[in-house]
Structure 1
C-alpha cells in the first residue's frame, strides 16, 4: 500500500475517534515504535531534531530509526547513539541544544563543514560521557561555553579554525583527562587562565600534551603558574597573539617539551637561562617579539633542529659558542640581532643543516664555508652584514649564498653571483604522474596513477616542521608514502597527491593534499567522513620531521549516494515509525514542556524564598543583585553564633560587631552584624553583597551569604582565623611577622587588588584599602575584605568615575580628594601607604604626623636601608639581611606619587613585589599553604596558630624541608 495513502487514511480515522481511543492509539503506537525500532526513543528524537535543522544531511537519513536504518555517520551500541562523525559532508545549519539528549555520546566530529555556524550550546556540558569533541574548520562563533568544563571524560578537544570569541574558559582546567587541547586560529581574547584556589585554570592540566592557542588575540602575560614540573606537555603553541611581559622561568621545568612557539607576540625581558634545560626541544620559535638581555645560551639543547629568534632587541653579542655544538640543526634564523664576529666554519659542517638566515647583523671578516660543509645546505643569507671576503670549500659550494649589502659586494667583489638576489623561487613541488597522462572530464582530476576521479581535497598545515629546504623532493615522497599507508587502512585509496608547498603568513608550512578513490571515480559518504575523521582526530601521524599539524578539508560535493538499507523486514518498521514518530515526538515535547515548566516554577519559588526576608516594605530597587550568595534567616545566624555570645565576639567597628559562628554543615564563618545607627547604610550593605557574590580570588575574602531579616542586616563571610594585618603589626594577634612574611602578605594583597582592577568585569575600585581590611588566614595568605565602599568603574572610556569622596584619612588619595574623580590609581595610593605601614607598624596619620611625609624627609639613598632604621618596626628582623628592602621602599614611593599618572598599575606592583621576594630568597609562586602544611598537619584544632616552629614560613621552596615533614 502506498505510504502516503496509508497516512491519509490514518488521519481520517483519527478524526472519528473519541478521546479514549486517542489515548489508546497513542500508547499502542508508542509501544509499536519502541518494540520495532532499534534506537532509543530519546536518542531518535534528538537526532531527528538535529536533522531537521541541517541541510545536506546524508542521503540515507530517512525514517525515525537512526540505529536501525544505519544512518551514515551514526554509531550505536545497545540502541544508544555513541558516536556522530560527519566530517566534510557539506552540512549547513546550527548545533542545537537538543544535543544534550544524547547522553551516551562518546564522540562528536563535525569538522570541515563550513556551513555549520552559530554558537556551541551550553547544554553540551550535559554529555558526561563525551571523550572526543572535534569541531575543526567550521564557522562556529560566539563564546566557548564554560559548561564545556563539565565534560570530565574529555580526552580530545579540538575547536581550532573557527570564529570563536571571548576568553578561554577557565573551566577547561577541570578536564583532568585531557590529552589534546586545540583552540588555535580563532578570535579569542583575554588572558591565559590559571587556577587561584577559587577557580580552575590551564595549569591543572598536568596530563595534557598539547597546548595549541596560536593565531588568536590573547593578551596579558604568560602566567608563571601556567607551567610546572608535573606537566607532560610536548607542544606549547602561543604564537601570533598579543601576549606581553616576560617568558616565565617555570617554562624550563617542563622537561618533556619538544616544540615551543611564542613567536609574533610582544614578549619582553630576557629569555630565562633555564630554557637551556629543555633538552628535548626540537623547534624553538621566539621571533618577532621585544626580547632583551643577552642572546640565550642554547648549548644544552642538543635536540634543536629549528631555531628562529629573529627581530628582537637582544644585547649586542659575539658569535655564540653554541653555533658549533648543535648536531641536529637544520634551520638557523637569527636576523636583525646585532651579533658580531666571524662565523665559524664548523657551523656549516652539521650534516642536517639546510638554511642559515643571518641577515642584518654585524658578522665580519671572512665567510669560510669549510671543506666538509653539509650536503643538505641550500641557503646562506648574510645580507646587510660586514663580510669582506669569502672562501669556498674544496669542491666549491654552488648553492645559494646572498651577500648583498656587505663590503665584499660594495667594493665590487670577484664573484658577483653572491651579490645578486636570484629572481627564481624554489619550484613548487607537485606529485608526478607515474604513467602516460590521459585527458579527464573538466570536473575530474588526474591521479598520479592516471585515473580520472573526484579527489578528496584540503590543506595540511604543519605548525613547526624541522626542515626548511622546501625543494627537497625526498621529504615530500616520505610524506606521501606515510599518508597513503595510513589512509589505506580504513578507506579504499588509489593514490595521494601533494602540491604547492609554501610558508603561510603564520609561519606554517601549507601543502595542498588530494586523496584519490580506488577502483571508482568518487568516494561515498562513509569514505568522506572517515577521511575527515582520520585527519581531524590526528589518527594520521606524519613523519617526525613534519611536526604538529592540522588539516582543513574542503566540501566534497561529488559524493556517491549511499544505497538505502536492504533489510526486508524494515518496511513495517518504517510504516510504524512514520505514524508513531509523530505521536512520540508529541508526547516527548509535552513531557519536556511539563518538566521545564516545573523547573521554572521551582526556580521562581526558590527565588521568592531567597528574597522573602527582605521585607514587604522594601522597594525592588533596594534588593541587591544576587549571584550565588545565600540568604540566611536571623534565627539561623542567632543559633550558629550561640545567640551572639561574647565568647564568639571577634571584632568590632563603626558598623557593629563580628562574631564567629559554625553553620549546620560545620563550616566556620564570620558574621558581621550591623548595629542600629551604624554608619554602614543600606547602599553599602547591598554593594558588598553584589560585588562579593561575583568576584572570586584566593586573595579576596569569600562571602558566604547575608541576612536582612527582622530588621537586622548581617553579612556572612568565610572565617579567616588570624584576624587583621593591623592586629599582627600591633602585636595584638601574637603572630610575629618577619620581613619574608610581610612580603608574602604584601604580595597577596596586591594580587587581590590587581584582580579587582584588571580581571573583574567591570573593573572595581576598593576605595578603602587599609591594614584593618587585610585579613590573614591560617597560612598567612592575605585576603582583602570590606567592600562596602567599593565602586565599579563601568565602561566609561575616560577610565574614571566622579563620585562622593569616601575612604579613610591617612590612606586617602589626595588627587581623588581634590577632584572627586575615582580611578584604580586611587587604590594604588592607598596600597602605597599600606606598604609603608607594613614596614613601620605605625598608623599612617597620628598626632599630625603623616607616614608618607616622614619617610620622604628621613630617606637617604646613600645609607644602608635608606637610613630609615628609626622608622622601621623592630619585629621586622632588624639586624638580619632584608633582601630587596630598598626596592620595596622605592615601590612604595612610586605608589604614593601625587599625580595618579606617575603611579604604577597594580599588575606592575605585583611583578615588582615578586622580584623583591626573589631578592629576599623567596619563591613568589610557592604556595603559602604548602609551606605551612608541615606545621599544621598534626594539629586537630583548625583555630590553632601554625607557628610552633618558626622555620615553617622561612624557606623559599615549594616543598617543606624534610625535618619539618609531618611524622
Structure 2
C-alpha cells in the first residue's frame, strides 16, 4: 500500500513537472513567422498618432496580446498560432494599407472601421480565402474595388461605405455566393450595375446609394431569391425606367430609388407581401398611381417631386401601419379621400404625416377633422381657396423628419451617484437608484424600414437586448437622431446586472462578449430595423484601465493551456517509465520513513513555504472570481492571486471530489517543496483548512 502511495506521489510530481514545463513552453509558442512579418509591415504602413497599436513591437502577437489581434486557440497542425481576426475599430489610424494583409491567410475578420486610412484596397486581400467579414467603412480609401475580392468564397459582409472609392463594380462580385450584405454607399462608384450580380443566391441587402452609377436598372434583379433591401438613392440612371419585373421581388422589404433620374410609370408593387418602405421621390416619374393596394406593412410611401397625374387611390386608406405619405409637388387632381387618416386609430406614440402640397387637388371627400396625431399639408392646391380648409393650408413649419430625442426619463432625476465618477444611475434597474458603471455604445441603423422611430422604441429595446443576451432593463437608449440617408443613430448605455450592491461593473470577459456580439455580426437582422453598424465602443474609466492591464484581444492563458493539453498526456505517459525507475531506488528509504514519521499540520515547518489561511486566499483571488481563473482540469481550478505583500501567485484549488487526506496533502506539499528544476515553478505556500486544499506557486 505504501509503495502504491509513493508511486502515486512520484507520478504526480513528474506530471506536475511536465505540465509546468509545457505551460512555460506554451508562453513561448510563436505566431506563424510570416504572419508576424505581415503584422509588422501593416503597422509600418500605418500612422498611429495616439500609440493605440504601440504594443505591436512587443513580444509575440498571439501570446503577448497585441491590440486588436485575435488568434486561433490551436496550432492547426503546423506548430504555430495563427491570426484569425483584426479588430481596429476607431483607433485614429491613418496612412495606407500594406499588401502584406494578404499574408494573413487564416483571417476571418478584417475590421478597420472608422479610421482615416487612405490609398487603395490591396488586391492581395482577395487571396484570404477564409475571410468572412471585410469591414473598411468610414475611411478615406480611393481607387477601384479590386476584382480579386470577387473570389472570396466565404465572404459574408462587404462594408466599404463612406470612403472615396471610384471605378465600376467588378463583375467578379457575381461569384460571392456566400455574401449577404453589400454596403458600398457614399462613395464615387460609377458605371452600370452588372446584371451578373442577379445570380447571387444569398444577397439580402444591396446598398449603393450616393454614388455615380448610371445606365439602366438591371431587370434581372427581380430573380434574386432573398433580396430584402434595394437602396440606390442619389445615382443617375439617365432616364431609365423601373423594371416592371421588380413587382416579382417577393422578399423585398424596402425599395429606395430617390433622386435617380428615373422616368416612366410607378410599377404595380401590390404583389410584394411584406414591403415596408417605398421611396421613389425626386425623379421624373409620370402616369397615374396604381390603384391596387400595397402591403399592409407599409410605413412609408414617398412619391413627391415627380410628374404624376390622376387621382389619389383609395387603397392608401387601408394601410394600418402608415407613418408618412408624401405625394407633394406632382400634378394630381380630384378629391382627397379623408379615409387615409380617418380610418386610423393612432396610439399615443404613433404619428401620421400626409404631404399633398402643390398639386391640383380640389376638395376633400368625407369627414375633414383629423386626430391630433395626424398632420396634413395641403398648401398650393386649389382647395385652399376654401376658407374652411385654411388650417390645412398653412405653410409647413420646421416640423420635419429630423426628429431626435434625448432620454430624460429616470426614476432618480436628482440622484447623484457617489465616486468613482464612472458610476451612473441605472434608470430601469429593478432596484431604484442602482449606481453602476455602464458601457457606452454608438450604434446606427443603416436602412430602417420606418420614418418615425418612436412607436418602435420598445420593440427595438426587446430586439437588441435579446440579441445581446441581456435583461431588458440593462439596455438604455440615451438618445437617438436621424442622419442623412435616412439612417438612425443612437447612443446606448448598457448596465451590469443587479445582483447585490457590490455588483457595480462588468468583468472584462462580459465586456468582450458584448463587444464580440456587435462586431461578429452574429445577431439576427430584423425586418423592420434592417442592417446595423457599430459606430463606437469606447472603454472608459476602469474599463479602460483593466483593458490596458489585461488586453481584451489575443490568446488567453486558458487558451494556452488548451493548446498544450494534448501534449501533456503524452509527456506524462512517457515520463511514467522514468518515474518508476527512479522510485524503485528510493522505495527502501521511504519504507524506513513510513514507520517513524507522521505529519501533522502543526508540525510542518518548511523553509520558504508559508501556511496561509483560507481567508487570505479569498482576498487574494477576489473570492475566486471567474476573471482571476487562468486554468483548470480534473483536479480543480488555477487562479491568479495577489497576496497582501503584492506577490503574484498561481493558486491551485482542489475541487471537492479530488480532495486528499490531510496527511497525503501535506506529504505532497513537502515533496514539492524539495523539487527544484529550471522549468518547474517553485512552491511558495499552501492552505489546508475549512475543507479546502490549495497550493501556491510563483506566477
TM-score relative to the length of structure 1: 0.48
Q: What is the 5 A alignment of 1:63-142?
A: 64=59, 80=75, 104-113=82-91, 115-142=92-119
Q: Conserved in 2, the CA contact under 8 Å of 1:232 and 1:256? A: yes
- Aligned with residue 157 of structure 1, among 120, 134, 153: 134
Question: Using the alignment, how far apart are the partners of 1:211 and 1:261 within structure 2?
Answer: 11
Question: Using the alignment, how far apart are the partners of 1:107 and 1:452 within structure 2?
Answer: 35
Alpha carbons of 1:42 and 1:66: their partners in 2 closer, same or farther (altered >3 Å)?
closer
1:297 and 2:265 matched: no
1:352 and 2:321 matched: yes
Offset of 1:212 from its aligned partner?
1.1
Q: What are the Cα deviations for residues 197-233 of structure 1, in whole angstroms up to 9, with x where unaligned?
A: xxxx1111123221111111111221223322x5321
Offset of 1:145 from its aligned partner?
0.3
Q: Secondary structure at the match of 2:93?
A: strand
Question: Using the alignment, how far apart are the partners of 1:80 and 1:146 within structure 2?
Answer: 27
Offset of 1:282 from its aligned partner?
0.7
1:385 and 2:356 matched: no
Q: Which moved further from structure 2: 129-138 or 561-570?
A: 561-570
- Aligned with residue 377 of structure 2, among 380, 383, 402: 402
Q: Secondary structure at the match of 1:217?
A: coil
Offset of 1:336 from its aligned partner?
0.9
Alpha carbons of 1:233 and 1:452: their partners in 2 closer, same or farther (altered >3 Å)?
same
Offset of 1:73 from its aligned partner?
6.3
Other-structure match for 2:181 = 210
Q: Conserved in 2, the CA contact under 8 Å of 1:306 and 1:329? A: yes
Q: Conserved in 1, the CA contact under 8 Å of 2:114 and 2:138? A: yes
Alpha carbons of 1:211 and 1:317: their partners in 2 closer, same or farther (altered >3 Å)?
same
Q: What are the Cα deviations for residues 226-285 of structure 1, in whole angstroms up to 9, with x where unaligned?
A: 322x53211111111111111112212212111100111112211122111111101000
Q: What are the Cα deviations for residues 649-703 of structure 1, in whole angstroms up to 9, with x where unaligned?
A: xxxxxxxxxxxxxxxxxxxxxxxxxxxxxxxxxxxxxxxxxxxxxxxxxxxxxxx
Question: Using the alignment, how far apart are the partners of 1:486 and 1:359 within structure 2?
Answer: 39
Alpha carbons of 1:488 and 1:301: their partners in 2 closer, same or farther (altered >3 Å)?
closer
Unaligned runs of 5+ in 2: 1-20, 551-639, 642-647, 652-676, 682-699
1:368 and 2:337 matched: yes
Other-structure match for 2:696 = none
Q: What is the 5 A alignment of 1:578-593?
A: none
Question: Using the alignment, how far apart are the partners of 2:55 and 2:260 within structure 1?
Answer: 53
Offset of 1:503 from its aligned partner?
2.3
Question: RMSD of aligned C-alpha atoms?
Answer: 3.9
Question: Using the alignment, how far apart are the partners of 1:521 and 1:419 within structure 2?
Answer: 53
Other-structure match for 1:663 = none
Q: What is the 5 A alignment of 1:336-735?
A: 336-370=305-339, 371-373=342-344, 375=346, 378-391=352-365, 393=367, 396-398=370-372, 399-423=374-398, 428=405, 430=407, 432-435=409-412, 437-440=414-417, 445-448=424-427, 449=429, 450-472=433-455, 475-488=456-469, 495-518=474-497, 526-541=509-524, 543-560=526-543, 561-562=545-546, 566=641, 568=649
Other-structure match for 2:201 = 231
Q: Secondary structure at the match of 1:414?
A: helix
Question: Using the alignment, how far apart are the partners of 1:414 and 1:249 within structure 2?
Answer: 44
Q: Conserved in 1, the CA contact under 8 Å of 2:226 and 2:251? A: yes
Other-structure match for 1:245 = 215
Alpha carbons of 1:165 and 1:517: their partners in 2 closer, same or farther (altered >3 Å)?
farther
Q: Conserved in 1, the CA contact under 8 Å of 2:130 and 2:154? A: yes
Other-structure match for 1:178 = 155
Q: What are the Cα deviations for residues 491-529 of structure 1, in whole angstroms up to 9, with x where unaligned?
A: x99722224433212221222222234465555655545
Offset of 1:382 from its aligned partner?
0.9
Q: Secondary structure at the match of 1:106?
A: strand
Q: Conserved in 2, the CA contact under 8 Å of 1:532 and 1:553? A: no
Other-structure match for 2:667 = none
Q: Secondary structure at the match of 2:191?
A: coil
Q: What are the Cα deviations for residues 275-329 of structure 1, in whole angstroms up to 9, with x where unaligned?
A: 1111110100000111112222323223211000000112x3122223x243221
Q: Conserved in 2, the CA contact under 8 Å of 1:409 and 1:419? A: no
Alpha carbons of 1:227 and 1:361: their partners in 2 closer, same or farther (altered >3 Å)?
same
Question: Using the alignment, how far apart are the partners of 2:680 and 2:124 within structure 1?
Answer: 37
Offset of 1:79 from its aligned partner?
6.3
Q: Conserved in 2, the CA contact under 8 Å of 1:498 and 1:511? A: yes
Offset of 1:351 from its aligned partner?
1.3
- The structure showing larger relative contact order (alpha-carbon pairs under 8 Å, at least 6 residues apart) is 2
Alpha carbons of 1:71 and 1:158: their partners in 2 closer, same or farther (altered >3 Å)?
closer
Offset of 1:160 from its aligned partner?
1.5
Question: Using the alignment, how far apart are the partners of 1:373 and 1:493 within structure 2?
Answer: 30
Alpha carbons of 1:572 and 1:278: their partners in 2 closer, same or farther (altered >3 Å)?
farther
1:335 and 2:309 matched: no
Question: Using the alignment, how far apart are the partners of 1:573 and 1:363 within structure 2?
Answer: 87
Q: Secondary structure at the match of 2:336?
A: strand
Offset of 1:146 from its aligned partner?
0.1
Q: Conserved in 2, the CA contact under 8 Å of 1:143 and 1:166? A: yes
Q: Secondary structure at the match of 2:317?
A: helix
Alpha carbons of 1:72 and 1:144: their partners in 2 closer, same or farther (altered >3 Å)?
closer
Question: Using the alignment, how far apart are the partners of 2:190 and 2:382 within structure 1?
Answer: 43
Q: Secondary structure at the match of 1:226?
A: helix
Offset of 1:61 from its aligned partner?
9.8
Alpha carbons of 1:524 and 1:74: their partners in 2 closer, same or farther (altered >3 Å)?
farther
Alpha carbons of 1:508 and 1:69: their partners in 2 closer, same or farther (altered >3 Å)?
closer
Alpha carbons of 1:452 and 1:542: their partners in 2 closer, same or farther (altered >3 Å)?
farther
Question: Using the alignment, how far apart are the partners of 1:392 and 1:443 within structure 2?
Answer: 58
Other-structure match for 1:306 = 277
Question: Using the alignment, how far apart are the partners of 1:102 and 1:379 within structure 2?
Answer: 62
Unaligned runs of 5+ in 1: 1-31, 83-100, 195-200, 576-967
Q: Conserved in 1, the CA contact under 8 Å of 2:53 and 2:67? A: yes
Q: Conserved in 2, the CA contact under 8 Å of 1:58 and 1:525? A: no
Alpha carbons of 1:67 and 1:469: their partners in 2 closer, same or farther (altered >3 Å)?
closer
Question: Using the alignment, how far apart are the partners of 1:67 and 1:167 within structure 2?
Answer: 33
Alpha carbons of 1:559 and 1:116: their partners in 2 closer, same or farther (altered >3 Å)?
farther
Offset of 1:338 from its aligned partner?
1.5
Other-structure match for 1:40 = 29
Q: What are the Cα deviations for residues 371-409 of structure 1, in whole angstroms up to 9, with x where unaligned?
A: 533645511011111222224559844411111222222
Question: Using the alignment, how far apart are the partners of 1:471 and 1:247 within structure 2?
Answer: 34
Alpha carbons of 1:154 and 1:554: their partners in 2 closer, same or farther (altered >3 Å)?
closer
Question: Using the alignment, how far apart are the partners of 1:57 and 1:283 within structure 2?
Answer: 40
Alpha carbons of 1:493 and 1:147: their partners in 2 closer, same or farther (altered >3 Å)?
farther
Other-structure match for 1:959 = none
Other-structure match for 1:284 = 255
Q: What are the Cα deviations for residues 447-500 of structure 1, in whole angstroms up to 9, with x where unaligned?
A: 32444455433432212211212332xx112222332333346xx997222244
Q: Conserved in 2, the CA contact under 8 Å of 1:222 and 1:248? A: yes
Q: Secondary structure at the match of 1:484?
A: helix
Question: Using the alignment, how far apart are the partners of 1:539 and 1:245 within structure 2?
Answer: 36
Question: Using the alignment, how far apart are the partners of 1:60 and 1:165 within structure 2?
Answer: 29
